Amino acid sequence: MLPALVYLALAAFAAALLGSLHAGRVVVLHLVLAVGAMPLIFGAMSHFIPVLTRTRAPGAWLGSLPILALAGALLAMAAFSLPDMLWGRYAGACVAASAAIAMLIWSRGRRKTMLGRPHPGLAWYEAALACLVLALLAILASAFWPQQWAGLRRLHLHLNTLGFIGLTAVGTLAVLLPTVAGRPDPEVGPWLRRHLPWAVAGTLLVAVGAAWFGPLAWVGAVAWAIPSGRLGVRWLRRYRAEILAWHGAAPLLAAALAGFGLSILFGAAATFMPALAPTSVFVAGFLPPLVSGAATQLLPGWRRPGAQGAWHTELRRRLGRFGGVRAVLFCVGGIAGGMAREGGLLLSAATLLWFILQAVAAMMNTRTIPQEKVR
């Protein structure tokens, strides 16, 4: 399931970036956020939550939640494409909200039954799921409060981007990059615990401010800049060599954090410069390096679970080849896209297609490598 969700996300991102010159902004955003990112995040959470709670692997029923989320996303996409399917907007929100609530209930149940305290990253995932539920409830509320449709739509967008995706991504990146570097950060747990209130407050303030009261969005942007900025400084101090390398997943994960911070900066600046496009920074400069960098590290283990062997090592090496170059291209594409330059989106699309082709070649060329344990 997880490898398939990775492939779906990469394909959705590439299609959205390539189609952004012709398709409407709403369609592009839903293709990226709902069809690509949401099912993948559900699948990743089903993998990581048992790790964070030190509990058994999830049951088979949990595998249906990413599919349920995808079904909700497709209903919403149909509502934007077919004039007679306006009801799909609300039906899709109900279906996706049901999946999010089920995942949240399952996570809370694992928290209660585990021995000891859970990893602080679990709270980031639960906060992200709560933001997704609120975002989908905002769509349902618009059916009863149509005069506030514009505000509720902006609330929905920011609870999705900064809340559901942002909290999940930053909470995962804080643990994943030290793992990629091979030098775990012993202070990552306290860091996650201290900075979650800043991230949640920043998300809510930006969402409410963007919807109804602009100055709040500025306060929220500053609040979100605190955890993301401190994490970036921490990484540069501890993992500078890995981040500035030509190859590997670390440059891509660092580029993803930079892209997330830039999307917040562009969003704040758009108050004075409406020509800026902060969602383009998010779509072109944050999500592609995030998913491709995470896939470089995690996909081998998801393809062949169990003991890590020569096959896993070689596949990670091939997936990460020229990762540093792609990280720079994604950053340039995100900045150019945020400045409303169409070439930026195309640059990110081309870079993502490069990774997809490289991943296909790597998968094919590593089939004959025996899965023997690395000593």
Tokens matching residue 336: 């150019």
Which among 353, 351, 328 is positioned nearest to 246, based on CA atoms? 328
Residue 360 belongs to a domain = yes
Residue 227 belongs to a domain = no
Beta-carbon contacts of 346 under 8 Å, excluding residues fewer than 6 positions away, are 17, 18, 21, 333
- How confident is the prediction for the chain on average, in pLDDT? 90
3-state SS class at 4: helix
User: Whole-structure pTM over 0.85, yes or no?
Assistant: yes
Which class for 351: exposed (0-12), middle (13-18), buried (19 or more C-beta within 10 A)?
buried
**Residue 20 reports pLDDT greater than 80:** no
Helix intervals (H) in the chain: 2-19, 25-30, 38-53, 64-81, 87-113, 121-144, 149-158, 166-181, 188-211, 214-238, 240-243, 250-269, 278-281, 287-303, 310-319, 323-338, 342-365
Q: How far apart are CA 358 and CA 303, in angstroms?
A: 16
What is the predicted pLDDT for the residue at 21? 66
pLDDT tens track for 231-273: 999 999 999 999 999 999 999 999 999 999 999 999 888 878 8
Q: How many domains in the chain?
A: 1
Beta-carbon contacts of 139 under 8 Å, excluding residues fewer than 6 positions away, are 89, 90, 93, 152, 153, 156
pLDDT tens track for 250-260: 999 999 999 99
What is the predicted pLDDT for the residue at 16? 87
Residue 316 belongs to a domain = yes
Residue 74 belongs to a domain = no
Q: How far apart are CA 129 and CA 160, in angstroms?
A: 10
Greater confidence (372 vs 11) lies with 11
Model confidence at 374, pLDDT cuts 50, 70, 90, reads very low
Q: How far apart are CA 300 and CA 309, in angstroms?
A: 10
Residue 280 belongs to a domain = yes
Model confidence at 318, pLDDT cuts 50, 70, 90, reads very high
**Residue 372 reports pLDDT greater than 60:** no
**Count of beta carbons in the 10 Å neighbourhood of residue 367:** 7
**Residue 325 reports pLDDT greater than 90:** yes
Which among 294, 292, 289, 243 is positioned nearest to 262, based on CA atoms? 289
What is the predicted pLDDT for the residue at 27? 82
HSE of 66, CA atoms in CB hemisphere, 13 A? 23
What is the predicted pLDDT for the residue at 373? 44
Query: For 146-166, what is the mean pLDDT?
Result: 93
Which class for 215: exposed (0-12), middle (13-18), buried (19 or more C-beta within 10 A)?
exposed
What is the predicted pLDDT for the residue at 291? 95
pLDDT tens track for 174-187: 999 999 998 888 88
pLDDT tens track for 274-306: 878 888 999 999 999 999 999 999 999 888 887
pLDDT tens track for 172-220: 999 999 999 988 888 899 999 999 999 999 999 999 999 998 889 999 9
**Residue 109 reports pLDDT greater than 70:** yes
Residue 331 belongs to a domain = yes
In angstroms, the Cα distances linking 353 to 178, 280, 360, 367 are 27, 18, 11, 22
Q: Which domain holds residue 300?
A: 244-375
Residue 3 belongs to a domain = no
Residue 134 belongs to a domain = no
Model confidence at 375, pLDDT cuts 50, 70, 90, reads very low
Query: For 313-334, what is the mean pLDDT?
Result: 94
Which among 5, 98, 132, 106 is positioned nearest to 53, based on CA atoms? 106
Q: How far apart are CA 212 and CA 220, in angstroms?
A: 13
